[in-house]
Amino acid sequence: MHEQRDFDRFLHAVDVDGAIAETSHQRQLVLSRRGLLAGALAGPGALLLGGSEARAASGLSANDVGILNYALVLEYLQASFYTEAERSGALSGKTAQAAQVVGATERAHVKAFQKLLGAKAVKRPLFDFQGVTEAQQAFLKTAVAFEDLAVAAYKGQAPKLQSNAVLAAAVGIHSVEARHAAWVRELFGVTPAVNAFDKPATKQSINHIVASTHFIVAHPKMKARSRPQYTG
Amino acid sequence: MTLLRLAAALAVVIAISLLWAGLGDSHRQKAEPSAAAYESLPTAPAPALRVGRPERLSSSRFSSRWTTVRRPTLARSRPSASASVVAELSTRAPEGTPNALSVIATRADAQGRVWVEVRLPVLPNGMRGWVPRHSLGAYQTLDTRLVVDRSALRATLYRDGKPIFAAPVGVGTSYWPTPAGRFIVRSELTRYASPFYGPVAFGTSARSAVLTDWPDGGFVGIHGTNEPELIPGRVSHGCVRMRNSDIVRLAELMPVGTPILIR
């Protein structure tokens, strides 16, 4: 329950148009119907989850689903950041190469989380990176912040996981994020490894940092009911 | 004496050998329980998550980007604050929806400010301009593309380069031609009370070069009709008309932001 509250606070901080919460709500509906799901995946529960997706997420506790969705939002953030940078074509040299390699890895993380969570996975938010993907130095500075953030976030949540199998996966991803952090730090010209011990970050501090960037934005409403005035 | 010395030396060698051997035994005796202890450790759990190979970006050959105007801004002829102004851009399209623009390119200037080249919804059609990145919203990427062929009187929607929808269309007469060029779908209107436009009308960035005093500036739409018998044909004031069943199907497949080629 504690993790559920934490995840709700995280959503409140970053979900500007409720798009993430929409899926989260579906997730809660699913969780509230655990009784229906317990016997078999056929029946009312299957209407919500459906087939292999339901099986993919079954067996995870509500606590772990909350933490995994929290990690998925951070993976969405990173994957979208590197994807946009690569598409912009504004990066060059070793930085462009790093963006390609790290981006490919973050996209693999997103896919893996989505597969594991199935219908319980939160939706991808819309990100407005406000030009930091289109200028080399701004990109590197943001990349360092994102990778350090991800490493600290994984470290903060890993001890709270109930499933050892999920913990094993989280540790595997955490070390990859740490390699990314070292790589982009080196490219940005800051020391890759400074401390003998890295402190974990709390969800509150991660929420605050992510929300303060304003990188997660509302989807523009492009549909309307007004009468057309086109030439006809 | 020599024999005695030899015997003593031999005894020392034997003693050292025995001691060495004994140490070895004791090492082995200590190692064996450790190895057994290792074997008795529980096996690590298999990770719940199977992360596949890194995912390279797919080819961007069929993808396009669009954005919206976040704050009123000026479009300039070059990516520079001192370049001439070619258009003013507001945050809203005439329909009241956010003003959507096709993104062509981006460039950072000497000061590190990012500029974005966009297609402008102004006359003459086909105008481009450079806009400061900070005045635009999030980029969105699509793999759909609509082609309107005025000769064949047919519209085809492609996704990732493959046709997924095609329908006959009505286009402008020779007096009020449908303009050719590259545009964007920038709004989707529904649930209005106007049989003339059918059940769905898409707003585009294309403008009639003739009907410039039309309400809202003479923008060209893609919409349904209450005269399906006229389709296909050259029957409109510049808009692209479709049978209502076709426009409803198109609305299920074509997101706002889709680039349009009218040829």
Query: Quick one: residue B12, left, alpha or beta (phi over 0 = left, psi -120 to 50 = alpha)?
Result: alpha
Q: Between A34 and A151, where is the model more confident?
A: A151
Residues of B in contact with A228 (CB under 8 A): 95, 189, 192, 194, 197, 201, 203, 221, 223
d(CA B263, CA B260): 10
Q: Where are the domains of chain B?
A: 64-141, 144-262
Q: Is residue A9 part of a domain?
A: no
Mean pLDDT is highest, among B15-29, B31-45, B62-76, B204-218, for B62-76
Name the 3-class secondary structure at B76: strand
Q: How confident is the model at residue B178 (pLDDT cuts 50, 70, 90)?
A: very high
Mean pLDDT of chain B: 89
d(CA A125, CA A84): 14
The β-bridge relationship of strands B162-168 and B100-108 is unpaired
Please judge whether B47 and A172 are an interchain contact, meaning their C-beta atoms are less than 8 angstroms apart: yes
pLDDT of residue A225: 92
Q: What is the tens place of the pLDDT at every residue in A89-130?
A: 999 999 999 999 999 999 999 999 999 999 999 999 999 999
pLDDT of residue A182: 96
Nearest residue, CB atoms, B44 vs list A137, A168, A170: A168
Percent of chain A with pLDDT over 70: 75
B228 burial via Cβ count (<10 Å: 0-12, 13-18, 19+): middle
Contact B42, B78 (CB under 8 A): no
d(CA B109, CA A199): 39
Q: For A133, which residue in chain B has the nearest alpha carbon?
A: B114
Q: How confident is the model at residue B159 (pLDDT cuts 50, 70, 90)?
A: very high
Tell me the nearest-neighbour CA distance from A55 into chain B, angstroms: 13
Does A33 score more than 50 pLDDT? Answer: no
d(CA A156, CA A71): 11
d(CA B223, CA B199): 8
- Counting the structural domains of chain A, the total is 1
Q: Residue A174 is part of which domain span? A: 61-217
d(CA B118, CA B95): 20
pLDDT of residue A2: 57
Domain B64-141 is found in CATH 3.40.50.620: no
Residues of A in contact with B44 (CB under 8 A): 168
Nearest CA among A103, A69, A126 for reference residue A184: A103
Q: Let me know the angle formed at the C-alpha of B207 by B114 and B165, rounded to the nearest 5 degrees.
A: 90
Contact A147, A180 (CB under 8 A): yes
Sign of CA dihedral B134, B140, B142, B147: negative
Does A85 score more than 70 pLDDT? Answer: yes
Domain B144-262 is found in CATH 3.40.250.10: no
Q: How confident is the model at residue B176 (pLDDT cuts 50, 70, 90)?
A: very high
Q: Is residue A116 part of a domain?
A: yes
A39 burial via Cβ count (<10 Å: 0-12, 13-18, 19+): exposed
Nearest CA among B127, B136, B130 for reference residue B117: B130
Please judge whether A220 and B218 are an interchain contact, meaning their C-beta atoms are less than 8 angstroms apart: no
Q: Is residue A136 part of a domain?
A: yes
Q: What is the tens place of the pLDDT at every residue in B200-233?
A: 999 999 999 999 888 888 999 999 999 999 999 9
Q: Let me know the angle formed at the C-alpha of B192 by B188 and B198, rounded to the nearest 5 degrees.
A: 75
Please judge whether B215 and A134 are an interchain contact, meaning their C-beta atoms are less than 8 angstroms apart: no
Please judge whether A88 and B190 are an interchain contact, meaning their C-beta atoms are less than 8 angstroms apart: no
pTM as predicted: 0.80
Percent of chain B with pLDDT over 70: 86
Q: What is the tens place of the pLDDT at every residue in B106-140?
A: 998 888 899 999 999 999 999 999 999 999 999 99
Contact B257, A222 (CB under 8 A): yes
Tell me the nearest-neighbour CA distance from B245 into chain A, angstroms: 18
pLDDT of residue B7: 59
Q: Is residue A14 part of a domain?
A: no
Q: How confident is the model at residue B49 (pLDDT cuts 50, 70, 90)?
A: confident
Name the 3-class secondary structure at B1: coil
**What's A135's domain CATH number?**
1.20.1260.10
A43 burial via Cβ count (<10 Å: 0-12, 13-18, 19+): exposed
Q: Is residue A11 part of a domain?
A: no
Please judge whether A104 and B54 are an interchain contact, meaning their C-beta atoms are less than 8 angstroms apart: yes
